[in-house]
Chains A and B, each alone.
Chain A
């Protein structure tokens, strides 16, 4: 499907990542947004409040993030593509509804522009410290997809991708921005409508009475409907059967919760997007995401100038985690360096995948700024020195 060209600001803009996210949502066909003002994500809802009345969308500022997140979910069941937007403490408040969206298989997009925490923390300064919350935030076992843009352009592109993935897998998708990408202004190219693919909702073609809202197709994803189509569906956060009716026992739980996991894990190869640069023959790999990937690239340039063969693996998709790729990478390089704006989150997942096959060096940061590139450079140089001896020959 293609976006409505009349709604697209096709052309070259000089806008920040927050505004680019809003434009991405409009391009993706999102016509409903609910939010509550919170720095540094507020510009996203401000732009939607301005733009939606011109493109046939509805924005409502709710009384808190609990409300905003479930209002967006309600809008999806009403038949709109919808998102909710937040940062910091607001993301914590949205956790129950992230779980509800996962349980009810609601295709909805949550945007978190990460800032320093915990609690009120650093409202106007960056962090990447919600990455594990984007995986384990709600109670119970559930899976989501999480994407990490590293530029305003990617805020646009990945917002569209987030909506497409949400529809394809009937799952909440998290756009994990950070304060820097949210607030930095750069060139953003908005393509013409015929160059943008948008995923339609997978509405069932079955007749009312013959449709089960939670009966998976071969890809483990069930088809969708909306209120008012005559299917008279039941949607609940309780453990349920394929009709959506509550079934409160261990067997129903096992069946449902495993499928919710498997529909993401078994489709992981189709979901995951990575950017690899210079990994061929590299002795050191840097794994990074979001704004830190750009700081890391600067460090990689410096390291190469110092004679180290170092490459980069950028996580565009953080969840599901590309464990297979990282496992293979650990066989190819002498050491892996993981810089991130937290005290070590995604590095835990890297270590799990690497499983001791090579040293993994965390370059942590409590947030509030980006890394000085020299700190990442030092880690790369140390990795080149301390990495597995068998691979070291390839460096110098």
Chain B
């Protein structure tokens, strides 16, 4: 796809008939979607072969607003759904787009295993430090001692350092930005779309209605100022340094960019080595054996 200045590339990627979105004024999720859409449009990928998979929550609704094959799955399970989708049709570019509660609490086990397997998935985690959809409860990323509805006296649990979690579990590509860094987000997504393996991008994003208001941190605009003043870009930083703290410095940048065999590459290499010519690879529904599914219009006679 080519774009011109007059042609808004983002609009084509949105299901405008579903607008306005459910997101609150000042919410950062829409900003990330804008960046994603821009990056995707610029990537030149065949949009018919891009699928987006979300879990449950505010960010979980992203899938529904994008004019792609989109799957709004169950809470925490976007990654395993995407695993099946991608392995059944390896030609698809599969993007998992979900929130911190969905991907790192209820879905935390799937996150580390998806990274360990180096599944060929781009995983965008919008981290707004809280459960927005259900009213501002504590997540594994809520910093101490921020207030959440289920931590009314202040959070006290240690948090996950998500870039470090993803990197040490095996992700091929790891980056973090805030919603202040719109150009960098788009660039990172654009770059990650062309990589293989498990790509994890954390996007720190304001939840003005719940997190900011409950913690008396002002409006979304104030949070943008905070991000600008407190973010430090350090590419290829040691992810151990990427720990977040309440109102502390935010390390951003591309931390990991490495090549590892994807799950499917490893699967194919192993079986080809052991089985030789007897190994029969599944290359997608069009190329499957006779009994595999066929294209549109052929399956119903």
The residues of A with any CB-CB pair to B shorter than 8 Å are 1-4, 6-7, 28-29, 31-32, 34, 53-58, 60, 62-64, 66-68, 70-82, 96-97, 100, 198, 200-206, 208, 223-238, 245-246
Contact = CB atoms under 8 A, between A and B. Distances in A.
Given A66-B77, A71-B81, A77-B85, 15 more contacts: A6-B289, A57-B282, A62-B113, A66-B76, A67-B79, A74-B73, A74-B82, A77-B69, A77-B71, A78-B89, A78-B284, A200-B293, A203-B295, A203-B297, A232-B70
27 contacts: A1-B291, A4-B289, A28-B291, A53-B280, A56-B281, A56-B282, A58-B87, A63-B110, A67-B77, A67-B113, A74-B81, A74-B85, A76-B84, A78-B86, A78-B89, A79-B89, A79-B284, A96-B74, A203-B296, A203-B298, A203-B300, A228-B92, A231-B69, A232-B67, A236-B64, A236-B71, A246-B72
State the 10 A-B residue pairs at the shortest beta-carbon distance, nearest first.
A78-B88, A74-B84, A79-B285, A75-B84, A29-B291, A205-B297, A203-B299, A236-B72, A67-B80, A78-B89
A32 B88 CA distance: 7
B18 A97 contact: no
B203 interface: no
Interface of B: 15, 18, 47-49, 51, 53, 63-64, 67-74, 76-77, 79-89, 91-92, 109-110, 113, 263, 267, 271, 275, 278-282, 284-285, 288-300
Contacts of A245: 15, 18, 64
Nearest to A7: B289
A203 B293 CA distance: 9
Contacts of B280: 53-56
Contacts of B73: 70, 74, 100, 237
Contacts of A230: 48
Contacts of A202: 299-300
A200 B15 CA distance: 31
Nearest to A211: B296
Contacts of B89: 78-80, 226-228
A246 B70 CA distance: 13
A235 B113 CA distance: 25
**Residue among B15, B64, B299 with max Cβ neighbours from chain A (10 Å):** B299
Contact of A53 (B113, B275, B288): B275
Contact of A232 (B48, B84, B282, B296): B48
Contacts of A225: 296
B40 to A, nearest CB: 13
Contact of A56 (B67, B83, B288): B288
A4 B47 CA distance: 32
A63 B111 CA distance: 10
Nearest to B75: A96
B113 A54 contact: no
A307 to B, nearest CB: 51
B84 A200 contact: no
Nearest to B279: A53
A200 B279 contact: no
Nearest to B88: A78
A2 B70 contact: no
Nearest to A235: B71
Nearest to B48: A230
Contacts of A64: 109
Nearest to B49: A228
B84 A235 contact: no
Contacts of B69: 77, 227-228, 231-233
Contacts of B80: 34, 62, 66-68, 70-71, 74
Contacts of B63: 234, 236
B74 A60 contact: no
Contact of A72 (B64, B84, B291): B84
A62 B73 CA distance: 17
Contacts of B298: 203
Contacts of A246: 64, 72
A277 to B, nearest CB: 34
A78 B281 contact: no
B68 A78 contact: no
Contacts of B18: 245
Nearest to B61: A246
Contacts of A68: 80
